């Protein structure tokens, strides 16, 4: 049972790395804290290589079946390490300028990454819950990180109260489920459900209530409608890199958990929950995309847009099968790359101007053509235009749903995707056609008349431009040539649902 | 003979009271207390199920211990954030914390 403990080495080392960052933070002078970002990223790269070397092709469960190291865990582990690195790199300038105590910030990002990778690997309810809470706690702290910023405080309070509330609901579901089947390991739950389904009329109603409450609890975590009301406020108030991490990391991690839970444990009862998840997916994508139209702030717009994308990802859960799981994993990866690209462009814009309303983005194509182009590519991709990741991932996902007999849901998804294109293109229009807003004009005039060194620093740093360029290439790469990715995904889905 | 259902009913009532508190209370601290109530309903449910279902294995008891621990950490974190907002805004009333409208 404990022979294979070394397979958890990446997790142990990641926790040590986070503590190391906290420790080194104590000895660094205030001006050199950004070195911690490089330390964290170097550590993550090292761990990435280590996990690939050590865990490639392994399929072993540890701790008496609490955690599994298979290709599904490995794929998400690699994904979250890369995501953590990208988030840290794109946050460096922002943290330097706006946040106090940067050392703890990077350490908490690392803890969140640890929680996420365990979420994808755990195959038992309690382990999954603890990992989920490790990630959530890190996010609670990060959201409230602007300590003297009332908006950040408010976002933190709203997030942690709703988060704790949803945890309580999730746990109540878990306790009812445990009361009904008496086991918590995914494979044992699946076995118990299969036996129970043989005599479906005799199934205790607590089982169904428990299942529904688990779904509701996780629905809060991923911000599915009607449990999404915390998302826009939290996204708007949180520091921008945290918003990016929250909208990408927490969603992908929660869906990695959901996919594993539903694929490995709840699969025998798919007929009972499929319609429920499908309806949830339909209202989530419609409401998220419709409400996004009315938003004036870029962060709120992206919050509602991410609610819409959660709807699309729920569609993958509803269409759970080999193709469904594969296209859902592809969707998560494509969405993450695209969304990070948009957020990184927004962070760069915010670093330069200190603003994040859509109206402020007027004339961006003239003042910062690269930022505007990168953001436009990201938004086109979110909207699902061909040649970018968004088209490919939506194509695979909607096709998978249609082949699983959810044709109506694919139709709803395509329709709401069309709606989403409208508000994404409004932002592009603002950047390329509308003139620069008044404050930018004034600044430009001041710059000319005063001509001091300070005023000409209005350029995004080389670091963030590099990250942004890499992400943009990633968006195009996933859009045009996703086949190497598909190989890895196929193997991951195979590990989840058994060979096809 | 006391049945598992009795415990589940008490636990369900406790959970419902907590749920009502979360929805009806306007003070952040009272909302946190209501969430604690919900978590205690969970614990009651877990412990009763563990005792009735498989006395030889104690998965339910272990989950309950973890839930207690995580709940304590959660309250600590939440109170820290509530304290920040009280320093900055001098209120913990959730209706007055409304810089952003959602």
Tell me what percent of the residues of chain A surpass a pLDDT of 70.
96
Summary mean pLDDT of chain A: 90
pLDDT over 60 at A500, yes or no: no
Answer whether A151's CB lies under 8 Å from A236's CB: yes
B62 domain-assigned = yes
**Predicted local confidence at residue A34, as pLDDT:** 87
Rounded Cα distance between B95 and B83, Å, is 16
A459 domain-assigned = yes
E strand or H helix at A83, and its extent? helix A71-98
Residue ranges making up the domain that contains A411 = 275-447+455-500
A306 domain-assigned = yes
Which residue blocks in A182-269 are alpha helix, DSSP H? Answer: 186-198, 205-222, 230-237, 240-245, 251-260
- Closest chain A C-alpha to B63 CA, distance in angstroms: 6
| B97–A157 CB contact, under 8 Å | yes
Confidence of residue B9 (pLDDT cuts 50, 70, 90): very high
- Closest chain B C-alpha to A231 CA, distance in angstroms: 9
B54 domain-assigned = yes
Answer whether B88's CB lies under 8 Å from A146's CB: no
Contacts of B40 in chain A (CB under 8 A): none
Interface test mutation site (partner B, options A164, A167, A233, max chain B beta carbons within 10 A):
A164
- Distance between start and end Cα atoms, chain A: 29
Nearest CA in chain A to B92: A157
| A130–B88 CB contact, under 8 Å | no
| A133–B15 CB contact, under 8 Å | no
**Predicted local confidence at residue A449, as pLDDT:** 54
Rounded Cα distance between A449 and A258, Å, is 58
Mean pLDDT to the nearest integer, A364-377:
92
pLDDT over 80 at B38, yes or no: yes
A441 domain-assigned = yes
Q: Which residues of B14-50 are buried (b: 16+ CB within 10 A; e: fewer)?
A: bbeebbebbeebeebeebbebbbbbbbbbbbbbbbbb
Answer whether A436's CB lies under 8 Å from A365's CB: no
Interface test mutation site (partner A, options B45, B55, B56, B60, max chain A beta carbons within 10 A):
B45
Confidence of residue A446 (pLDDT cuts 50, 70, 90): low
A373 domain-assigned = yes
A-B contacts at Cβ under 8 angstroms: 124
Answer whether B44's CB lies under 8 Å from B10's CB: yes
Q: For residue B99, give the DSSP letter.
A: S
Nearest CA in chain B to A301: B102
**Predicted local confidence at residue A453, as pLDDT:** 41
Half-sphere exposure of residue A229: CA atoms within 13 angstroms, side-chain side = 7
Confidence of residue A43 (pLDDT cuts 50, 70, 90): very high
**Predicted local confidence at residue B29, as pLDDT:** 93
pLDDT over 80 at A450, yes or no: no
Lookup result for tokens 């995004």: A460
pLDDT over 80 at A370, yes or no: yes
Contacts of B10 in chain A (CB under 8 A): none
Name the residue among A19, A225, A211 with its Cα closest to residue A107.
A19
| B78–A183 CB contact, under 8 Å | no
Q: Among partner residues A148, A155, A164, which is closest to B74 by beta-carbon distance?
A: A164
What digits encode the pLDDT tens for the residues A70-81?
999 999 999 999
- Closest chain A C-alpha to B10 CA, distance in angstroms: 13
B101 domain-assigned = no
A482 domain-assigned = yes
**Predicted local confidence at residue A454, as pLDDT:** 41
Contacts of B63 in chain A (CB under 8 A): 125-126, 174-175, 178, 184
Contacts of A291 in chain B (CB under 8 A): none
A55 domain-assigned = no
Residue ranges making up the domain that contains B47 = 4-89
Q: How many domains does chain A have?
A: 1
Mean pLDDT to the nearest integer, A184-192:
92
| B22–A179 CB contact, under 8 Å | no
What digits encode the pLDDT tens for the residues A307-344?
999 999 999 999 999 899 999 999 999 999 999 999 99
pLDDT over 80 at B102, yes or no: no
* Neighbouring C-beta atoms of residue A229, cutoff 10 Å: 14
| B49–A169 CB contact, under 8 Å | no
Phi, psi angles (nearest 5°) of residue A70: -125, -170
Mean pLDDT to the nearest integer, A107-117:
96
Summary mean pLDDT of chain B: 90
pLDDT over 80 at A440, yes or no: no
**Predicted local confidence at residue A452, as pLDDT:** 43
Choose from A83-87, A495-499, B88-92, B95-99 the range with maximum mean pLDDT.
Answer: A83-87
> In this predicted structure, which of A178-192, A399-413, A445-459, B80-94 has the lowest mean pLDDT?
A445-459
| B35–A141 CB contact, under 8 Å | no
What CATH number should be reported for the domain holding residue B55? 1.10.287.3510
Confidence of residue B1 (pLDDT cuts 50, 70, 90): low
Contacts of B69 in chain A (CB under 8 A): none
**Predicted local confidence at residue A71, as pLDDT:** 92
Mean pLDDT to the nearest integer, A123-145:
95
Mean pLDDT to the nearest integer, B38-64:
89
Interface of B with A (CB under 8 A): 4, 8, 11, 15, 18, 22, 28, 31-32, 35, 38-39, 41-42, 45-46, 48-49, 53-54, 59-60, 62-63, 66-67, 70, 73-74, 77-78, 81-82, 84-85, 88-89, 94, 97-100, 102
| B74–A183 CB contact, under 8 Å | no
Mean pLDDT to the nearest integer, A434-445:
79
Rounded Cα distance between A141 and A108, Å, is 8
Rounded Cα distance between A407 and A402, Å, is 4
Nearest CA in chain A to B81: A157
| B38–A175 CB contact, under 8 Å | no
ipTM score for this prediction = 0.95
**Predicted local confidence at residue A99, as pLDDT:** 87
Nearest CA in chain B to A143: B81
Nearest CA in chain B to A133: B70
**Predicted local confidence at residue A451, as pLDDT:** 46
Interface of A with B (CB under 8 A): 125-126, 129-130, 133, 137, 140-141, 144, 147-148, 150-151, 153-158, 160-161, 164-165, 167-169, 171-172, 174-176, 178-179, 182-184, 206, 229-230, 232-233, 236-237
Confidence of residue A499 (pLDDT cuts 50, 70, 90): low
Q: How many domains does chain B have?
A: 1
């Amino acid at each position: 049972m404990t022979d294979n403990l070394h397979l958890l080495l990446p997790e142990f080392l990641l926790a040590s790395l986070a503590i190391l960052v906290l420790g080194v933070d104590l000895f660094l002078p205030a001006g050199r804290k950004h070195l911690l970002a490089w330390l964290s990223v170097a550590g993550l790269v090292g761990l990435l290589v280590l996990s690939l070397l050590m865990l490639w092709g392994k399929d072993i469960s540890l701790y008496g079946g609490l955690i599994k190291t298979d290709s599904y865990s490995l794929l998400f582990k690699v994904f979250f390490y890369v995501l953590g690195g990208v988030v840290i790199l794109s946050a460096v300038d922002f943290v330097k300028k706006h946040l106090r105590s940067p050392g703890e910030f990077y350490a908490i990002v690392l803890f969140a990454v640890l929680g996420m990778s365990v979420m994808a690997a755990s195959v038992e309810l309690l382990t999954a819950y603890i990992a989920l809470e490790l990630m959530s706690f890190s996010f609670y702290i990060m959201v409230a990180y602007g300590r003297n910023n009332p908006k950040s405080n408010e976002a933190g309070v709203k997030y942690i109260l709703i988060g704790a509330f949803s945890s309580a609901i999730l746990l109540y579901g878990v306790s009812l489920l445990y009361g009904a089947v008496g086991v918590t390991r995914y494979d044992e739950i699946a076995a118990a459900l299969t036996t129970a389904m043989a005599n479906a009329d005799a199934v205790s109603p607590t089982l169904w209530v428990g299942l529904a409450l688990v779904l509701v609890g996780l629905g809060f975590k991923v911000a599915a409608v009607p449990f999404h009301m915390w998302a826009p406020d939290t996204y708007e108030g949180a520091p921008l890199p945290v918003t990016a991490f929250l909208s990408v990391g927490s969603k992908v991690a929660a869906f990695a958990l959901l996919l594993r839970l539903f694929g490995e444990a709840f699969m025998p009862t798919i007929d009972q929950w499929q319609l429920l998840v499908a309806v949830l997916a339909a209202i989530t994508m419609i409401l998220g995309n419709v409400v996004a139209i009315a938003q004036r702030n870029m962060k709120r717009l992206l919050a509602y847009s991410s609610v819409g994308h959660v709807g699309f990802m729920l569609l993958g859960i509803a269409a759970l099968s080999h193709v469904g799981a594969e296209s859902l994993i592809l969707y998560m990866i494509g969405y993450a790359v695209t969304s990070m690209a948009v957020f990184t462009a927004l962070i760069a814009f915010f670093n330069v101007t200190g603003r994040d309303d859509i109206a402020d983005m007027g004339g961006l194509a003239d003042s910062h053509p690269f930022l505007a182009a990168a953001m436009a590519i990201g938004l086109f991709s979110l909207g699902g235009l061909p040649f970018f990741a968004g088209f490919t991932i939506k194509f695979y996902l909607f096709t998978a749903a249609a082949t699983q007999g959810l044709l109506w849901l694919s139709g709803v998804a395509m329709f709401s995707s069309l709606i989403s294109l409208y508000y994404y293109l409004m932002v592009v229009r603002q950047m390329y056609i509308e003139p620069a807003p008044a404050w930018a004009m004034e600044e430009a005039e001041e710059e000319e008349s005063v001509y001091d060194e300070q005023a000409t620093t209005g350029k995004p740093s080389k670091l963030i431009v590099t990250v942004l360029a890499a992400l943009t290439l990633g968006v195009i790469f996933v859009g045009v040539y996703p086949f190497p990715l598909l190989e890895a995904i196929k193997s991951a889905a195979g590990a989840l649902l058994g060979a096809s | 003979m006391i049945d598992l259902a009795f415990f589940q009913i008490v636990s369900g009532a406790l959970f419902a009271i907590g749920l009502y508190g979360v929805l009806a209370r306007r003070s952040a601290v009272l909302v946190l207390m209501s969430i604690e109530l919900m978590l205690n309903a969970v614990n009651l449910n877990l412990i009763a199920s563990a005792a009735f279902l498989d006395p030889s294995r104690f998965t339910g008891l272990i989950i309950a211990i973890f839930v207690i621990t995580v709940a304590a950490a959660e309250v600590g974190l939440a109170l820290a954030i509530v304290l920040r907002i009280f320093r900055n805004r001098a209120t913990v009333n959730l209706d007055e914390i409304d810089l952003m409208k959602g």
